[in-house]
Amino acid sequence: MRGATDSSGLTFRQDYFGDDAAWAALVSLLQDTFGIDIDPLRQLGGTDPTSMPFGWFDETGTLAANLSAFAMPITLNGRIINAAGLQSGAVRPPWRGRGLYRDVTAKALDWCDRQGFEAVVLYTDKPDLYTPHGFVSLPMHLHAGDAPSPIPKTKPARRLDPWNPEDLALLREALNARAPVSERLAVCRSSAMFLINTQFDPDIRLSWLPEQQAVIAWKMDDAAFFVLSDVVASAIPTLPVIFGGLGMSPRTVEVLFAPDKLGWQGQPQLLETTTRFMIRADTPVDLAQPAMLSPMADF
Ligand SMILES: CC(C)(COP(=O)(O)OP(=O)(O)OC[C@H]1O[C@@H](n2cnc3c(N)ncnc32)[C@H](O)[C@@H]1OP(=O)(O)O)[C@@H](O)C(=O)NCCC(=O)NCCS
């Protein structure tokens, strides 16, 4: 049975990203809870302007509990859905077990409903926290197979560095103009998450294909095995064109989103991770075909 929320000694605040001290308190909460540093977001174009954080602060300004919502329109089964994402959900150990997370979850979902979002999505390794709120898990599939032959290009790709101001401007322009990388499941925008995710995975490389005006996010585990994480472009180039632009001819490829725009199919493989992608919507949602959200959209 659910007990009442014990928020004694705490003050509730929402929409606090404009307050430097409160932002620092969130950075600290996420560093202590998940070991991640989201502060570089401020240098990489800023936080997502649609973000709406819900948090309980103590009298010293420490953030005890938080959950943030943000607009995250997605394409799902070929349809654009005006979805919200939930992220940065955490409660500091001394304040756990008092109903604070249940409280911020209810507040965030109520806000999402009042904003008129059609669906709410999140990632979690604790699905039991969210099933009582109507969330269901969707299976995620990567696609793997033999790499197609490259179509050679004249203009070579160049590496992009988000810390170079010119490259950052180009990246942000491409992110603003991007088409969903897949019709099956993909974000429509989500620039802030793409940019911060470039910092979380040290192996990820960003390349600019000038002819296609496309950013390719990729990794190479060894010389023969190519991992394609995302493509940011208003028209998604095919895989042979991507390999041609990058000047690569790997033997095998793994694509971390549904490859319906890549002119290549591959075999779907269920992602065996403890992290689940969950969705809450008025009408039941299922994936019509195997898909996954690009890790560059992780939130
Ligand atoms: C998980 C976490 C957010 C729970 O915070 P909390 O304030 O202690 O949770 P609450 O007291 O509000 O409990 C809310 C409900 O979740 C349940 N719950 C708490 N911890 C849970 C866990 N680890 N797994 C599953 N359910 C849990 C509670 O039993 C309670 O259920 P009820 O509403 O039926 O009574 C907190 O332990 C935490 O920050 N953990 C580390 C970070 C994390 O996992 N964040 C979630 C990211 S998706």
Give the neighbor-by-neighbor strand order of the sheet with 74-76. 79-81, 74-76, 185-187
| The model's pTM | 0.93
Under 8 Å between Cβ of 110 and 72: no
DSSP string, 116-158: T-SEEEEEES-GGGTGGGT-EEE--EEEEEEPPPP---SSPPE
Ligand 1 midpoint to CA 101 (Å): 6
Look-up of token digits 């607009």: 71
Ligand 1 midpoint to CA 86 (Å): 15
- Can you give the pLDDT at residue 1? 46
DSSP string, 190-239: -HHHHHHHHHH-TT-EEEEETTTTEEEEEEEEETTEEEEEEEESSSPPPH
Give CA–CA dist 128/89, Å, rounded: 14
Ligand 1 midpoint to CA 246 (Å): 45
- Can you give the pLDDT at residue 190? 85
Residue among 47, 45, 59 at smallest CA distance from 16: 47
Class of domain 10-139+272-288: alpha beta
Ligand 1 proximity of 10 Cβ (cutoff 6 Å):
no
- Can you give the pLDDT at residue 189? 86
Q: Tell me which amino acid residue 184 is.
A: R
Ligand 1 proximity of 90 Cβ (cutoff 6 Å):
yes
Decide which of 3.40.630, 3.30.70, 3.40.50, 1.10.3470 is the CATH code for 142-270.
3.40.630
Ligand 1 proximity of 91 Cβ (cutoff 6 Å):
yes
Q: Which residues of the chain are in CATH 3.40.630.30 domains?
A: 10-139+272-288
- Can you give the pLDDT at residue 164? 97
- Can you give the pLDDT at residue 54? 98
Mean pLDDT (10-residue bins), the chain, 299 residues: 85 96 97 95 90 98 98 96 97 98 97 97 96 96 97 90 96 97 95 92 96 97 91 97 95 98 97 95 93 95
Under 8 Å between Cβ of 212 and 237: yes
Under 8 Å between Cβ of 207 and 234: no
Q: What are phi and psi of 250, to 5 degrees?
A: -70, 165
Residue among 159, 152, 153 at smallest CA distance from 208: 159
- Can you give the pLDDT at residue 20? 95
Helical packing angle, 191-200 and 165-176, nearest 10°: 130
Ligand 1 proximity of 67 Cβ (cutoff 6 Å):
no
Give CA–CA dist 178/233, Å, rounded: 5
| Helix-then-strand count for the chain, H and E | 5, 17
